[in-house]
Amino acid sequence: MTTSSQQNPVTDGSGRPDGTTPEPARSTPDRSTPDRSTPGAASTENRGRAVFATVSSFYLPYLVATFVGVMVISNITATKGVVFFPELSVSLGFLQLDGIVTDGAFFLFPLAYVLGDVISEIYGFRTMRRTVLAGFAVLVLAALCFTLTIHLPAADFYDGQEAFERVAGVAPMFLLAGLAGYVVGELLNSYVLVWFKRRTGEKTLWARLMGST
C-alpha cells in the first residue's frame, strides 16, 4: 500500500518533481535573411548596384577642405601669367604661336576636378553639391575680404598697395568666372558621373571618369 505523498510527488512550480528548472528552448537562426554583421555580407548584397559611403566618413572633411583650399589658392595663383617654351614659334596663317602661354593655376584646376570625381564617386552627388556650394561661399567671402582690404587706407610706410591691388583686385572677376565655370562645371561633372554609376554599378570606373570629365 502506497501513501499519497508517493503517488503525488511535491513540486516547486517548475513542473519537475526534483525541483530543477527546465532549460529554455534553443531557437534555430533564420538563414533566410543575410547576416549584416558578417564581414562581406553587405558587399555581396550590394554587388551590381551603386554604393556610396556615409557622410560621417573619416576622410570626407579632409577631402572637402582640400577641394575648397585648391579653389581659393587657384584664384590667387591664376593672376600670374606663365609661358612654356618661349623659343617655340609657329605661324599658321592668322594664328601665331610664340610659346605655350597659360596662368599659374594650370595645375590646380585639374586637381580640383580629380577631387570632385573622388567625392562624387565615393559619397554621391548630394555631398558633392554641398561641397561645391561651400567652396563657392568661401570664394564669395574671399572676394569681399580682398575688396574691403584694397579700399582700406594704406599706411605711410606701406609701398605695396599697387601690387596688392593687381593681385587681389581680380578676385571679383574670378568670382564671376567661377560662377559659370567652377559651379556649373563641377556640378555637371558630378551629376554625369553619378548618373553613369547608378546605371553601371561599381563596374567601368574608367568610363565614368572619362565620360563625366
Q: How do residues 34-72 score in pLDDT, each as one tens digit?
A: 444 444 444 455 556 777 666 678 899 999 999 999 988
pLDDT at 19: 54
pLDDT at 145: 92
Please calculate the CA angle 103-108-110 and round it to the nearest 5 degrees: 105
Q: Is 58 helix (H, G, I), strand (E, B) or coil?
A: coil
Residue 119 has pLDDT above 50, yes or no: yes
Type and span of the H or E element at 136: helix 125-151
The predicted model scores a pTM of 0.65
106/103 Cα distance (integer angstroms): 6
Nearest to 75 by CA among 174, 210, 163: 174
113/119 Cα distance (integer angstroms): 10
> What is the gyration radius of the CA atoms in the chain, in angstroms?
34
> Which amino acid, 75?
N
Could you report the per-residue pLDDT of 6-19, keeping only the tens digit for each? 555 555 555 555 55
116: buried, middle or exposed (CB in 10 Å: 19+, 13-18, 0-12)? Answer: buried
Q: Which residues contact 121 (CB under 8 A, 6 or more apart)?
A: 193, 197, 205, 208, 209
DSSP H helical ranges for 52-107? 60-77
* pLDDT interval class at 30 (50, 70, 90): very low
143: buried, middle or exposed (CB in 10 Å: 19+, 13-18, 0-12)? Answer: buried
Q: Tell me if 11 sits within 8 A of 20, measured CB to CB.
A: no
80/173 Cα distance (integer angstroms): 15
Residue 109 has pLDDT above 60, yes or no: yes
